[in-house]
Amino acid sequence: MALDRFREWRIDRMTDRIARRPHGKSARTTYGAADVHSFTWEPVLEALALGPADRLLDVGCGGGVFLRHAQAQTGCTVAGVDHSREMVRLARPFAVQGEAEQLPFKDGEFTAVSSIVAFFFFPDALRALREMRRVLAPNGRIAIYTTSPEAKGTMAAPYPLATRGHFYTDEELQHLALEAGFSTARVTRPDESGWAQLLAAQP
Ligand SMILES: C[S@@+](CC[C@H](N)C(=O)[O-])C[C@H]1O[C@@H](n2cnc3c(N)ncnc32)[C@H](O)[C@@H]1O
């Protein structure tokens, strides 16, 4: 029993350090790299169709690399939120520390919200989606790039890390978004592996 608890504790610790609340030198190198998760950028930017008048929030922004890219590509204004203090420091000056389920922003502050390879870790997906909806202006849109249940055990979600993830079918993701108050929601599979999901929704 004590051995089981120790094993679970070690998995939690490893998951946090690597991805769920990244910290330490190796995490800073990974999430500060100029191309981290760059395979997600094109589908996310296509779904958001950003321009210079847009205000983008990235939830679980890590080192802020996507925010810098989005700003350079589209001229939009950017902000990020992440619960890892070290990631917020890396994503300076754009990011603030906070939880996806309780965003430290006012109602309607953004025209677009993204979340890249992070939604999977949010303990309460519905609450996180409600928060994204709340901070969006009426003409807003969200794009969430996440990992499908079929990815469990693949390199996209290897064990034991996969045991700490929350996976949703396409239908579940769509329903969650509608329940959170979005009026349209669509889930697509943005890459050839079929392991990734892109949820695009509008108020
Ligand atoms: C795998 S990293 C991805 C980081 C970044 N989006 C990227 O693509 O490089 C997941 C990020 O989500 C953050 N995160 C996880 N759960 C969170 C939560 N509930 N609230 C805020 N941030 C969270 C982690 O701290 C981490 O920086």
Over residues 138-177, the pLDDT tens digits come to 999 999 999 999 999 999 999 999 999 999 999 999 999 9
CA of 203 relative to ligand 1 center, distance in Å:
24
Q: Where are the alpha helices (DSSP H) in the chain?
A: 2-15, 25-32, 41-48, 65-74, 85-90, 125-134, 170-179
Residues 2-59: pLDDT tens digits?
889 999 999 999 999 999 999 999 999 999 999 999 999 999 999 999 999 999 999 9
Give the model's pLDDT for residue 2: 87
Ligand 1 binding pocket includes 64 (Cβ within 6 Å): no
Which protein residue's CA is at the shortest distance from atom 14 of ligand 1? 60
* Mean per-residue pLDDT over the chain, rounded: 96
Q: Answer whether residue 95 shows pLDDT above 80.
A: yes
- Over pLDDT 90: what percentage of the chain? 95
Is the model's pLDDT at 73 over the cut of 90?
A: yes
Element (H, E) at 201: strand 196-202
Instruction: Give the number of the atom of ligand 1 that is nearest the alpha carbon of residue 98.
Output: 21
**What is the rounded distance in angstroms from the CA atom of residue 117 to the CA atom of residue 63?**
13
What's the CA-to-centroid distance between 12 and ligand 1, angstroms?
15
Q: Is the pLDDT of residue 1 over 80?
A: no
pTM of the predicted structure, to 2 decimals = 0.97
Give percent of the chain with pLDDT exceeding 70.
Answer: 100
CA of 115 to the centre of ligand 1 (A): 8
* Of 41, 68, 83, best ligand 1 pocket probe by most atoms within 8 Å of the beta carbon: 83
> What's residue 3's pLDDT?
84
Can you tell me the mean pLDDT for 99-103? 98
Confidence of residue 103 (pLDDT cuts 50, 70, 90): very high
Length of the chain: 203
Distance from the alpha carbon of residue 99 to the mean position of ligand 1, in angstroms: 10
Beta bridge partners of 142: 113, 201
Q: How far apart are CA 133 and CA 125, in angstroms?
A: 12
- Which residue's alpha carbon is nearest to atom 12 within ligand 1? 60
Q: From the CB of 70, is ligand 1 less than 6 Å away?
A: no
Q: What angle do CA 40, 45, 115 make, to 5 degrees?
A: 60
Task: Dig out the tokens for 101 from the structure.
Answer: 């389920």
State both tokens at 110: 């953004």
Q: Which of 50, 146, 33, 154 is nearest to 87 (CA)?
A: 33
Cα–Cα distance between 125 and 100 in angstroms, integer?
A: 9
| Averaged pLDDT, 59-65 | 98
Secondary element (H or E) of residue 203:
none
The pLDDT of residue 46: 98
Tell which one of 26, 87, 88 to mutate to probe ligand 1, the residue whose CB is within 8 A of the most ligand atoms. 87
How far does Cα 184 stand from its chain's mean position? 19
CB 62 within 8 A of CB 97: no
Confidence of residue 190 (pLDDT cuts 50, 70, 90): very high
**pLDDT over 80 at 191, yes or no:** yes
Write out the two tokens for 109. Answer: 């502050």
Predicted confidence at residue 192, as pLDDT, reads 87
CA-proximal residue: ligand 1, atom 7 (nearest): 62
